Every structure is written in structure tokens, then in C-alpha cells.
Amino acid sequence: MDPDALCDLPLTVHGFLQACADRRLTPRLAMARALARIGAICRPKRLMLRAPNADWQARASKSETLPAGHGGARQTSISSRHVFPGTFNQESDNMTSRRNFIQGASMLALGSMLPFESVFAAGKTTVGVIYVGARGDYGYNQAQAAAANVIKKLPDVKVVEEENVPETIAVQKTMQAMIEQDGATLIFATSFGYFDPHVLKMAAKYPKVRFAHCGGLWKQGNPANIASYFGYIDECQYLNGVIAGHMSKSKKLGFVAAKPIPQVLRNINAFTLGAQSVDPSITTQVIFTGDWSMPVKEAEATNSLIDQGCDVLTCHVDGPKVVIETAEKRGAMSCGYHASQAALAPKGYLTGAEWDWATPYKELVADAQTGKPQPNVLRGGLKEGFVKISPYGAKVTPQAKQKADAIKASMTAGQFAIFKGPMKDNKGATVIAAGTTHAQTDYTLESMNYLVAGVTGQI
């Protein structure tokens, strides 16, 4: 491509990007060369650039902080090698030169209005993914990160990530930076506590940006640019319970949970009901740690449950690593959660309830790329490929496998209901009347506020 072409292109973002692509330049380098060409073009056409004034000379020797979003640079140094603004003396025959100058100046304006990274990524969909913990936590965040790795390989997709972002105003700052500096047009806010007020505020502030929140909290009246994605992982927790029910000798199961929110209660109840389908006398003891990642409390809870006679344990915390490893050290069996923890417990790991977030991630990214309106509520289970069970461990008996596989097939065919009446909570109150069946798609399950009979614990 002709070196002068950057200044001769039509004054459009597309033209600028095409020049960058053709010459294999970064937007920053391309802009610098374009500005240099302004001077080269102006001189032959007798447009004279007046010397920089005293104010600019004073600024030339020091660094100047630029606002976020201008070239994505927090700090840039202005030196005498840069082109300074000046006044142009025009002769009567310089209309062509004037046109060339305006084209170059317009490019400068383009650079001041748009982040370089955003301009360079035009034509690509930039996706931001935010994690509340470490991506390699053997659990919740690792399952989300696995999906992010899948969409990184999709054509015309750029992924930016940030881990260990707390459920505070810090996540708002992270989302804003991804949008304004990286040019993200789709944000995956993966933690439950990111939603209110943080995702709600950012979605209202940036109505043209798509937000995908994991946890099932969107409701009518919330910003329309939010998608709430979640999976029916209670199906897999039910299957965990079936296996645990077959394998337990004490008939006492243990569950380490973070918070008594509907999604967690639904998993505790499904796990217990699965075990009780094998033996109605089986009980589940639950201990809440109070937060998603509390390694010390998780270890204490696991040890306490084993001391109380629980011989199969599972959990709903961000990183099941501590629970699984502690159970293994104590000689107890375990069922995993979020991702496979089989490598952490080669003797006692029975199976696990795993997410397959790549399914909703790919759908939401495709919607963003094509401009298709995103769904406000996106759900799926075994049938839709949102969740899966871990391979069975060596200890699992053929009878247990056969029972679990049969129920899994029924679930996949949409013919199995976990929550149906009559059902009582652990206080004796009827929570599902006789003759009532709640399908997985029944939204009332997403506001579950009870523990079923057979669960020992309080909420």
C-alpha cells in the first residue's frame, strides 16, 4: 500500500482500520505515521506549520496524563518529535493541500475520540470475562474460564479477562475499563453477587453493551441488555445423590455450602432427594460457611461432618478443592462440583456435577456478532448441554452406575421431575402439594427458600 494512503483514505473508521490491516500496523503506530505524513504533505503544498507556542514547548518536556479511553494509555510522553497544533498560512492555490490536511486532522480527531484498542478491534467482538476468584480454582471460576478458552478460538472474537475481582464497586470499575479501554461489547459477569447493584448500574449506564450474568436473577423491569444464564445443575447433584446413596455405609451424607441462596438450597435438596431415592432413611447434614471462598472454614466444616459420621461429602462453594482433599485425607468419599476434582481424590472420588458453560457462552457471543437480540433468561440442563456429570470413580458399583445412568437418560429425555409433591421441608411444612410437579423450567424453583425433610441444618 502507498505510504501516503493513510492520509488519502476516506474519513471513516473503516478506512483507517483497512490501512492498518493492509500495512500490518498497530493503530498507535499507524496514527503516528499518519501525523508525520501531514507535515510531509503540507510542505510541498506550501502550507506552513507555525512553530509551537510557549505553552506547548513547556509541555513538551514532561509527561502528560491522558483520560482513560483516549488511546487506552494512562500516561504518554509528549516530545519534540510529535506534531504540535499550530496555525496554517494558506496561499490561494492550496485547496488540495487543505483537503489533505483536513483528512489528516480528521484522523487525529478519530484517535482522540476512540480508544486505539477499540478501533483496532473493530470488526471483532471483544468479550470481557470477570471472575470473583482465581481461574485455576478447581471449581466455579475454572469452569467459567474453560468456557472463555473455547470462545477465544472462535473467529473474530477477542477475550479480555480479570480474576479475583470482589463483589464490590471494584467490579463496576473493571466492567467500565473493559468497555472504555478494551472496547468490550459483551461482558460476562460470572459471580452471583455481581448482579445487584453492579451489573444493574453498568447495564443502565451502557445500554448498547450486552451483559451476561451467571446466576438467574434477571426479572421484568431490569435493563433489557442483560442476559441471565444458568444451568440446571441440580440434575447432576441429584445423580450425585443417587451414587452417594448407593455407596454410603453410615447413611449420613455431608454438604458444605457457602450461602443459603436459592441456587444452593436447590442443590442441597436435589442431592438429598437423589440419595433418598435409593434409601429414604438417608440424611444430609449441611454446614454453611458464609461466603464463596473460605478455605479454613471449608476444611473445618468437612472435618466436622466426617466426625459426625458422614462418609460421603459434596459441596457448593467456589473452589471445592479443600473439601475434596480433606475428605480424601480422612478416608471419606466425595462427589465433586463445578468441575472435575477426580485428580485430587483418586481413592474416594465417586463422580461430580460439572458445568459446561461453553454452550451458553457460544450462543451469547453468536448473538452479539450477528446483532440478534439476546435472551434475558437462558437456561439448560443435561439435555441442552449446559451441565454434565464427571466420569465414575473406581469405587462406584455397577448397581449404582446402572441406577444413575437410567435416571440420567430420563432427565435427558425431559421425562424426569426432581421436585414433585407431596414434599415437606425439614420443619414439617408442606412445600409442594400432592399432585403438583415442578418442571426444571418452572421459575418458582429459582426462589427456593427451604430445605427438604431429611436435611439437618438451618437457613
Read off the pLDDT of residues 242-261 as tens digits, 9 standing for 90 and up: 999 999 999 999 999 999 99
Pick the residue with more confidence: 35 or 154?
154
Pick from 102-116, 236-250, 300-314: least confident = 102-116
Residue 2 falls in which region: left (phi positive, over 0), alpha (psi -120 to 50) or beta: beta
pTM: 0.72
Maximum average pLDDT range among 34-43, 96-105, 190-199: 190-199
Q: What is the pLDDT of residue 274?
A: 98
Is the pLDDT at 106 greater than 70? The verdict is no
Q: How far is CA 317 from the centre of its chain?
A: 17
Task: Indicate if 234-354+389-456 has the same CATH topology as 124-231.
Answer: yes
Task: Say if strands 312-316 and 283-288 run parallel, antiparallel, or are unpaired.
Answer: unpaired
Helices 358-370 and 140-152: crossing angle in degrees, nearest 10, is 40
SS3 content of the chain, % helix, strand, coil (to 5): 40, 20, 40
Contacts of 31 (CB under 8 A, 6+ apart): 107, 108, 111, 116
Mean pLDDT of 163-187: 97
Instruction: Encode burial over 117-150: b for 16+ CB neighbours within 10 A, e otherwise.
Output: bbbbbeeebbbbbbbbbbbebbbbbbbbbbbbeb
Confidence of residue 31 (pLDDT cuts 50, 70, 90): low
Distance of alpha carbon 413 from alpha carbon 419, whole angstroms: 17
Contacts of 442 (CB under 8 A, 6+ apart): none
Q: How far is CA 222 from the centre of its chain?
A: 19
The answer to whether 300 and 330 are in contact (CB under 8 A) is no
At which residue does the C-alpha cell 466436622 appear? 304
Phi, psi of 353, rounded to the nearest 5 degrees:
-100, 115
Pick from 19-33, 276-290, 293-307: least confident = 19-33
Maximum average pLDDT range among 26-40, 41-55, 113-127, 302-316: 302-316
User: What sections of 46-139 are H helices per DSSP?
Assistant: 54-59, 95-113, 116-120
Q: What is the pLDDT of residue 100?
A: 44
Is the pLDDT at 262 greater than 70? The verdict is yes
456 burial level (CB within 10 Å; 0-12, 13-18, 19+): middle
Which CATH number applies to 124-231: 3.30.450.20, 3.20.20.70, 3.40.50.300, 3.40.50.2300?
3.40.50.2300
Pick from 6-15, 269-278, 441-450: least confident = 6-15
- Any idea where the domains of the chain sit in the sequence? 1-52+83-123, 124-231, 234-354+389-456
Class of domain 234-354+389-456: alpha beta
What does the H/E/C string look like for 161-212?
Answer: EECCCCCCHHHHHHHHHHHHCCCCCEEEECCHHHHHHHHHHHHHHCCCCEEE
Write down the mean pLDDT value for the chain: 81
Task: Give the cell for residue 230.
Answer: 444458568
Pick from 113-127, 132-146, 183-197, 368-382: least confident = 113-127
Task: Give the cell for residue 319.
Answer: 473452589
Angle (nearest 5°) at CA 232 between 430 and 213: 110
Task: Say if strands 419-420 and 437-438 run parallel, antiparallel, or are unpaired.
Answer: antiparallel
